Structure 1
Amino acid sequence: MSRESTKSEPGGFQSTAPSRNLVEHITWSAGAALVFGAIVCYSATKQSELPSELLCWVLLPVVFAIAKRRREAHGSVESLLPLVKSISQSSETQTPSSISLWMIAASIVICSVFRAERGIIILLPALAPLLAISYRYTRPGSHPSTGCHISFSSLLRHDILGTALTAVLGIAALSGWDPTTYAISAAPVVALFIAYTLLAPQSTRNSQWLESVDIEDAVSSLALRVAALLVAALVGESYLFGLPNINAVETLALGLIKALMWYFTSQLARNTSWLVAAVAGTFSLLATRDPFMQPTDTRALIVALASLLSLVQVLYLLPKQAKARLTLLGLAAIPLVPYLSNLAALQLAQSSALKHAEKHPVEVLTREANANFDNLLRNQSSTYAAAHAEYQRRYGFEPPDGFEQWYKFAKENESPIIDEFDIISEGITPFLRMSGQEFLDIMSVAYDEPDHELWSCVMSGQPAKTECSHHGRENDRNNAHFFDRVTEKIPVVLKLRLLLNHLDEPTVMIPPLSAQSIRPVITNRGGERAWEVLTEFCSLRKNESKSEVASTIETYGLPFVTDRKAAMDLCQHPEYSDTHGLLAAPESLRLTEGLVPVLSNGAPSTMGDILYPSTAYVEEDRFAYHAERDIDWDKKQNNLYWAGSTTGGHARPGNWNGLQRQRFVELAQNLKHRTFSYLREKSGGAAAVLHEQAVDKRESPLSFATGVRPRWKRDQWAVLQPRRIEVAATEADNHPRVARRAALAVGALYTGQPAHGGAARVGVLPDIDGERTEARERNCRAGPSVVHSSLSRD
């Protein structure tokens, strides 16, 4: 057959072979569609998706109008934006179907909302084979001919089998065979299938309601409908999640690039097929996946291969006469350069890692800690006389009344610790100069103050019976039950009064002696920055020498904690101010300024609360450790699990992205592109220092079991975008739909209530904030998982 003879074209009509200029501009449109599509996939964020899509459809009619004027001015397709010849001349005399326009607009908006909520469309590679099947069996003659293209392999040349192969590889690389993800991603794929089907030209008019739409002629009508639906979606999203935090320059640039992508994609599809547009979209999506973020080397390789296959299929689907189409192979650099750079960086860094003969610092520190603890146990007093003398030596005064009875009680119950009263001593030392009556008076004054969160508990009798009261609460969080349990074996009649802090956050700030007054001052600092008020009296310690002791352990410049007390001192570490929820923005904080004896579950170094264990320790049904329910270390998932209703601090504009949840993800994803050094153990126990580029960042799943707030801010959640996040709501009974929306907003899997003992399946457990002062922390430490500790509170 001669070059100018009649043949079947992908657009669904019979025509002579395209002119040389037209064919070359089809290739140019394909290249532009691929490049702009890749830029959109790489640059788009969840926050900017809806605003940039709205801007895109506002600009798209303008882009078409400019292209049309330039074509008319030049009288040729060789304009800057080449508006090539219309495929269906009959469309010029037809009015687009309103129903078809609304269906296309709704489909486009569904996809945009999905990307704003979930991110990438995992099943997008499946769109191409669906269109290929539709073209072959519902529109004979409209599918691309497979016999007129360059030969690479018979499989790839086949429009259905070739696109199906790419779809299988692409979906496997993007999702890891997750049925839940498939089900959720089906909606935008079906929507795109409907839109592309209606945009494809028809040789006959099959329905008076559902008609093919020529995007060139109907761009203004279609853009108006898309914009209207996007505005409605933006209003709804803003109501549910709050206004998105938008970067104006980024949104404007992304909106313009999207408009150009749509323009060139439409021109490519009008002169070939919307199947080509679908394959081009698959390439743009796969080619911009970060190889560092893939969970395995195999998955990273599959992503690169699938993107290359989709690029080759774009070449096959272009007209045979388009000689310049081979230049599109240069776009293979988009997926190949990052992938090969990743492999090279890992190989180079691993081969040049510094090896040392010394043992790994963690091993050395662990051995030293075990030796110190064994030495502590060996040096405990074995007689009452020795314990009495040791108490006097350590603390400089006589032990309290009943010390001998306590010693006998400890020995009878085989307590391995006899002499260690440092925490108790530090807590009560400021109150030793007070008389008993002054002690009782200040407790009464504090309890009678308004706006406090203190329980007044009285223990009396033998065995002791505890009764607790609060001005505004009835549930004492098991305080009475806790003290009944811990005193039930004490063989004396007790008569005690205690003030207990109801909140997880501590409460007491003891001012210097010159500033103390008889009546305490109680202020509510919840939701506010607390660093300045909690370190207010550090200046009085400016002449004190720092207690940190230089360590002889080689840590290779990494900040291992070798002096626990110094590491916990807020006055020595101003860098803590923005890295802990209690200091940056506590969810609740009732400060009691004065010399008031209050028992709390935890307190930083600058506060004066007297520490006692969490009452949740007596809740065996919730927090008891069961070894038979745990998992061996080598079978645990390599991820992080975090539970707690107020962990992370009170999020507000300007501070939310520095809180713990976001910092964990930022570290795992290296969103700020910082350079780190890591230690890895080599053969023989030697340590190797690897710099950040040598670390495989692909495995970074996180699990959050979190309390649900009635309103979630999108920009506070959008940073949580690791490879996989699971969200379970510990307080979902009140707001289950809010919990689901919050999970969907970060592309997370919402699992409802967290499974009992869910922490057992993972290897890393942080005990910061609420975790640090609850019985859950004891449960975590009892198992083989690694507990990531915060040292800012006892």
Structure 2
Amino acid sequence: TIDPVTGLAGSAVLCAVWTQWQSSRRDEPWAELICWILLPIFCKAITLPINRFDTEKVNELQRSPGPWLWLFAICIATRAVCEGEQGSNWLLPLLMPLLLVIEQYLGQGLSWPASVYPGLIFMISNTLLGTTSIALFGISTLIDFNLIRVALSITSAVASFTMYLTLLNKGSNLSRHIPHICIREDINPLSFRVTSTLVIVLSLKTITFGCAVPQVLPTITLGIFKAFTWFFLIQTAHHTTWRIAVPITTFSILSTTDPFSQSWDINSFFILVGSILLLAQIIGTIPKHPKTLWVLSLIPIIPYLLSLQAIMSSQHMARISFRNHQMHPVEEAIHVAQGELNSLIQRQSKSYTAARDEYKRRYGLEPPPGFKEWYEFAKMNQSPIIDDFDSIQRTIAPLLKLSGREVLEAMSGLYSRPDSEVWSCEYSSQKSETHCSHPRRTFDRHISLLFNRLMKDVPSGVHSLRFLVNHFDEPRVLTTSKSLTNQLSHQAGSLRQGRNGDGSSSQIWDMVSHDCNFKDLESDQSENWSTSSPDIGLVRTHSQQVDICQHPEYQHMHGLLTNPVTFRPIQGPVPVLSTGSLSTMDDILLPSPAYLEEEFQYDEAQDTDWDSKYNKLYWAGSTSGGYANGSNWRDFHRHRFVNMIHNPARDQTYWYLQQQKNGLVERVPSSFLNRRLYNVAFTRVFQCEPSACHDQRAHFNVRPWAHKDEALGYRLAFDLDGNGISGRFYKLLASRSVPLKQTIMREWHDDRLVPWVHYIPVSQEMAELPELVTYLTSTKSGQEQARKIVEQGRDWYSRAFREVDMTIYVYRLLLELARLQDPSREGAKEVK
């Protein structure tokens, strides 16, 4: 038979474990409220055993005055709010040695002899050295250096310590200062004070952050089990000490920490070891023979073993699925893309005459004045790209239908508009200098610095000219098919999507997809390659990846298309330079000044050799990408990515390629994701309304700030859009890590980058990501292909992404702009 006290302690542990397993940060304070409503009912309905002190001693204890009951209630509410905001309190293990010291001072230590237990169990449970050692180990396992969570953990720890201090039996020498609270005797007034305090706190929280409606049934269930946990803790503490509540609570936290969710093997192992040590502490604090409690060690052991089995099985299947000389789809993609790069390099013109003829063939008109000098400058600087500047012509060509004077009038009209948010920049050919001005702003976000740095050594082939540059990260110019045939319309858009929340997702999508014909949507077969393996959703080409007319699902997948921070579309044809643009917008593409800023420069001293890097995927960053209000942030691209790794939906399905019994490789669903292959987290929450910021901090495990070069320590480095383009991309391209790039933005470099040769593209859906990461990290072939992409990307970066290569692009862009706004130029009737 099981000893009654052991049974009570085991019940307390099981209820605490279930409570922790089902806990939700959002529902935590509400569940605590339900708990303290139910607890008096439980205590009155079930007779509590008398504690280990005799009746006379209990009766001699001073009854608790009202202020101390209110203090207890405030501590409960404080702890509930802190845990609702930050989750587990990683300082909780420290309370065990602190309470032990208090007990020893009060002379209220355990009365049974140490000989009942093995020496080690007694030491870690009932000595200052042992409890302190376990506390430090537990803290090191749970610790989180996020400043907000540090503050919340300290607050929660102080509240918990004060609460347990009031529950300790103190004797007459200390009870005069800190009265003893006996929950059995004081349950009704305690319940009233705790529930009243929680109601006030929840009301203030609702006023501050808005009404976050809890999940009714889960919250009620959680509250019931919280009440049972308290009920069994009260009974157990009556026979032992309130100090036992600390290892029971900490055990429930550690043992329910999902080993599948850990990014590092050592973390998962430490969690297991910590759980077993805490269980030993619990056993060492209980009288008689509680050996049966060791069965509770299965709570952390079974998930740990299952996680190891799942990881090994996943790695084994990845290694054997393509061993029969069958190419993985990634290998096929790389093979096809390599041919595209070779074709790109070989087709570039080798002489000025050839370059001029190719320009005329591509665009149906003569090159702009100064083209010969540009060609000589490009050849002198060994540019690998001479002809492929379609990204310039794509946006310049429609504007050629306007005369030079009309272009100048459009520019002047836009700049004169209130809140046009464009910079007017003037380039002086004599000084090779650019000066930018704005009606209200003074910091031009390094636009003039970009032009001054890139154009300082350019020969005098570019005439002085004026051009407009977008101030925002988001693109601006919307030129629909109707606006090209109607009168010039270039009024700054009235829609601003941001802090005021005016405008809806459907409005933005309707604007940017106005000319898309989704009804007749068909995949361009020329952009596909045939594969001998099942399709896992690999991105075929960059043009396919960013074309929103091929992807109506993007409406609910990207922050820019859901709720951008700033979206002020310029309706009508007008030349405005932006660092990135959507496929349906007509901003003229400019290299981002961020690529020249110190923060985004590649530092080889910070990089490591391939063999020394962690064999996993890394990303850390802020919640930029859109402005969050309500729950719309769940559709933002960065949030979807982090959610996929750390907060998947219960019905989340991951897809892998696996060899079946018949020998064929098929695409199979799985609920398993090997999170040991990912180190992904948010480090900052911003661009959100207070309630949305609060919800995101509660939902995501926000980590402390990460070093700007942290990604260089990993073999796979993820990169994705922010509010606009990502400034990190070139650093990753130059590094010894493989860039995995997810974007819907067009940039100036699109003509010279080849996916699957220089970087790995990732779709917005990310359905292919689990198989992709598994293949690149867990198979010999995948690691070889990843290293090959690193070498090719670094080599191409050193040849085609030098500062002079950006100069060559900007030089040619200014030639095109100079011709476009030449007052003597007539509008073209037809443009190729």
Q: TM-score, normalised by structure 1?
A: 0.80
Q: Which residue of structure 2 aligns with residue 667 of structure 1?
A: 644
Which residue of 487, 511, 518 corresponds with 2:488? 518
- Of 366, 375, 384 in structure 2, the residue corresponding to residue 416 of structure 1 is 384
* Offset at residue 494 of structure 1 (A): 0.9
Deviation larger for 137-146 or 583-592 = 137-146
2:434 corresponds to:
466
Aligned pairs for 1:303-382 within 5 A = 303-311=271-279, 314-315=282-283, 317-320=285-288, 328=293, 330-353=295-318, 354-356=320-322, 357-366=325-334, 368-382=336-350
Aligned partner of 1:702 among 652, 662, 680: 680
Deviations 1:657-698 (A, max 9, x none): 2223322321222521422135799xxxxx998975664324
In the alignment, is residue 608 of structure 1 matched against residue 586 of structure 2?
yes
Q: Shift of residue 307 of structure 1? A: 3.0
Letter in 2 for 1:220: N
Farther off after superposition, 121-130 or 253-262: 121-130
The letter for the 2-side match of 1:410 is A
Deviation sequence 1:170-202 (CA, Å, 0-9, x none) = 753663485958976565445434433431334
Residue in 1 that maps onto 2:39: 60
Q: Residues of 2 paired with 1:726 and 1:368: CA distance?
A: 40
The total of aligned residue pairs comes to 719
Given the superposition, is the C-alpha separation of residues 40 and 540 from structure 1 closer, same or farther in structure 2, using an over 3 Å criterion? closer
User: SS in structure 1 opposite 2:569?
Assistant: strand
Q: Is the 8 A contact 1:764 1:786 kept in 2?
A: yes
Structure 1 unaligned spans of 5+: 1-19, 68-80, 682-686, 729-753
Moved more, 586-595 or 374-383: 374-383
1:787 pairs with one of 733, 736, 739: 739
For 1:273 and 1:448, the matched residues in 2 are separated by 76
Classify 1:441/1:202 alpha carbon distance in 2 versus 1 (closer, same or farther; 3 Å): closer
Cα distance change on mapping 1:222 and 1:636 into 2, 3 Å:
farther
1:30 to partner: Cα distance? 2.5
SS of 2:401's equivalent in the other structure is coil
1:213 to 170, 181, 184: 181
Matched, 1:256 2:224: yes
Residues 618, 276 of structure 1: CA spacing in aligned structure 2 closer, same or farther, 3 A cutoff? Answer: closer
> Over residues 108-130 of structure 1, what are the superposed CA-to-partner deviations in whole Å (9 max), with x where a residue is unaligned?
34433432233212243444444
Of residues 506, 524, 530 in structure 1, which corresponds to 2:475? Answer: 506
Question: Cα distance, 1:647 vs. partner?
Answer: 2.3
Residue 373 of structure 2 corresponds to which residue in structure 1?
Answer: 405
Corresponding position of 1:592 = 570
Corresponding residue to 1:286 among 254, 271, 278: 254
User: Structure 1 pair 556/171, CA: closer, same or farther in 2 (3 Å)?
Assistant: farther
How many angstroms apart in 2 are the aligned matches of 1:342 and 1:624? 39
Q: 1:676 to 1:167 in 2, by over 3 A?
A: farther
**SS of equivalent residue, structure 1 residue 56:** helix
One-letter identity of the residue aligned with 2:581: A
Is the 8 Å Cα contact of residues 93 and 138 (structure 2) preserved in structure 1? no
Judge conservation of contact 1:507–1:591 (CA < 8 Å) in 2.
yes
Within-5 A mapping of 1:379-394: 379-394=347-362
Contact 1:516 1:595 survives alignment (8 Å):
no
The answer as to whether partners of 2:474 and 2:566 remain within 8 angstroms in 1 is yes
State the percentage of identical aligned residues. Answer: 33
Q: Residue 26 of structure 2: SS of its match in structure 1?
A: helix
Shift in Å at residue 88 of structure 1? 5.4
In structure 1, distance between residues paired with 2:71 and 2:160? 10
Partner SS for 2:464: strand
Tell me whether 1:777 sits opposite 2:729 in the alignment: yes
Give the whole-Å Cα distance in 2 for the aligned partners of 1:474 and 1:761: 38
1:651 is aligned to 628
Determine if contact 1:244/1:714 at 8 Å carries over to the other structure: no
Aligned residues of 1:772 and 1:790 also touching (Cα < 8 A): no
State the secondary structure of the residue aligned to 1:494.
coil
Equivalence map 1:406-555=2 (5 Å): 406-488=374-456, 489-492=458-461, 494-513=463-482, 516-521=486-491, 522-527=493-498, 528-529=504-505, 530-539=508-517, 542=520, 546=524, 548-553=526-531
Deviations 1:303-354 (A, max 9, x none): 334434544554554443x8xx666555444323322332333344444554
Deviates more, 1:607-616 or 1:513-522: 513-522
Q: Secondary structure of 2:27's match?
A: helix
Measure how far apart 1:561 and its partner are. 1.6
Distance 1:466 1:210, change over 3 A: closer
Query: Is contact 2:121-2:281 (8 Å) kept?
Result: yes
What CA distance in whole angstroms lies between the structure 2 residues aligned with 1:774 and 1:693?
31
Aligned CA distance change for structure 1 residues 189 and 624 (closer, same or farther; 3 Å): closer
1:108–1:191: 8 Å Cα contact kept in structure 2?
A: yes
Change (3 A) 1:300 1:121: same
Deviation at 1:786, TM superposition (A): 3.2
Does the 8 Å CA contact 2:425/2:448 hold for their aligned counterparts? yes
Alignment partners' CA distance in 1, 2:533 and 2:87 = 40
Pair 698,112 (structure 1): closer, same or farther in 2 beyond 3 Å: farther
Q: Does the C-alpha gap of structure 1 residues 110 and 175 become closer, same or farther in structure 2, counting only changes over 3 Å?
A: farther
1: distance between equivalents of 2:413 and 2:627?
30
In 2 relative to 1, CA 625–651 (structure 1 residues): closer, same or farther, beyond 3 Å? same
1:630 and 1:267 map into 2 onto residues whose CA distance is: 58
The whole-number CA distance in structure 1 between the counterparts of 2:381 and 2:280 is 76
Distance in structure 2 (CA, Å) of the matches to 1:618 and 1:148: 70
Matches of 2:527 and 2:65, distance apart in 1? 80
Are positions 1:715 and 2:692 aligned together? no
- Contact preservation (8 Å) 2:638, 2:720: no
**Structure 2 unmatched runs, 5+:** 499-503, 660-664, 747-832
Partner of 2:750: none
- CA deviations 1:568-589 (Å, max 9, x no partner) are 2111112222222211111101
TM-score of the aligned structures, taking structure 2 as reference length: 0.77
Matching residue's letter, 2:700: L
Residues 82 and 335 of structure 1, relative CA distance in 2, 3 Å threshold: farther
Counterpart CA distance in 2 for 1:548 and 1:492 is: 39
Distance in 1 (CA, whole Å) between partners of 2:599 and 2:647 is 36
List aligned pairs for 1:48-197, cutoff 5 A: 48-65=27-44, 67=45, 81-85=46-50, 87=53, 89-90=55-56, 91-92=58-59, 94-98=62-66, 100-135=68-103, 137-140=104-107, 142-146=109-113, 149=116, 153-157=118-122, 160=125, 168=133, 172=137, 175-176=140-141, 185=153, 188-189=156-157, 191-197=159-165
How many Å apart are 1:634 and its aligned residue? Answer: 4.3
Deviation at 1:38, TM superposition (A): 0.9
Q: What whole-Å deviation, never above 9, does each CA across 1:740-781 have from its counterpart, x for those lacking one? A: xxxxxxxxxxxxxx7565654555544433476365433342
SS in structure 2 at match of 1:427 = helix
The offset of 1:703, in angstroms, is 5.1
| 1-structure distance, mates of 2:519, 2:490 | 23
In the TM superposition, what whole-angstrom CA distance separates every residue of 1:52-78 from its partner, at most 9, and x where no partner exists? Answer: 22332233233323x2xxxxxxxxxxx
Provide, for residues 258-279 of structure 1, a one-character-per-residue CA deviation record: whole Å limited to 9, x for no partner: 1221122112211332233333
CA RMSD of aligned residues (A): 3.8
